[in-house]
A and B are shown apart, each in its own frame.
Chain A
Amino acid sequence: AQKITQTQPGMFVQEKEAVTLDCTYDTSDPSYGLFWYKQPSSGEMIFLIYQGSYDQQNATEGRYSLNFQKARKSANLVISASQLGDSAMYFCAMREGDSSYKLIFGSGTRLLVRP
C-alpha cells in the first residue's frame, strides 16, 4: 500500500486565488511528521511546512497552511493568494516515528499558476 498518496498529477490555479493540494497518508505509528516540499523547474527541493501528529493546531507558514485531518489521514497544503512563482512540483512526505531519519515521498502534484 502507498504510504503517501497525491492524487492530483496536475493542477491549475488563477493568480491571486487559493489552491489546495491533496495528500493522504497511511501509517500505524502514532507519532509521525508530515512535510511539504516545493520543487521548481530549477530542480532544488525547498522545505515549505511541517505538521507533527500530536500538534493540536494546523501549521501555517506565510501563505502556506496545512489542513491536517488526522481521522481522515489527510494533510492537504493550502496556498493562498497564488503567485506566478508558485508554479512548481509539490511533494508531500512523511516521517514515521519520532526519531526516524527517512522521509517517504508522494509522487507529487504539478501546479501551474495562470496570470
Chain B
Amino acid sequence: SQKIEQNSEALNIQEGKTATLTCNYTNYSPAYLQWYRQDPGRGPVFLLLIRENEKEKRKERLKVTFDTTLKQSLFHITASQPADSATYLCALGNRQTGANNLFFGTGTRLTVIP
C-alpha cells in the first residue's frame, strides 16, 4: 500500500540548533516533492519544491534533500528560532496518478525551545 511517513509526530529542539525532519515514502513514483509549513487552524504554506532529478535545494535557512533510491527526503532548518515552531508537511506529486495531485505525509510538529 502507499504510504508517506514523517519520522516523528513531534520534535523538540533548542533554539539555534538544526532541526532535521524526515519524510519516507513507499509505492509512489514522485515527479517532485514539496515541503509545507502549517500553523494551527491555518492552511499550509509552501516552502520548497525539489524535483526527482535534484539532490538538494536551499532557501535561506532551509535545506531539502531528495534521495529517490532511499525513497526519502530530509528537511533541515538551521539556526532554528522559536518562530519556526509549526507543523511541517511533506507532499508528493505522484507521477502515476497525475503529478498535479499532492499526497501529504502525516506531519511533524516542531517546537523550538528558547
Physical interaction between A and B: no
Which B residues fall within an 8 A CB radius of A?
A: none
Which A residues fall within an 8 A CB radius of B?
A: none
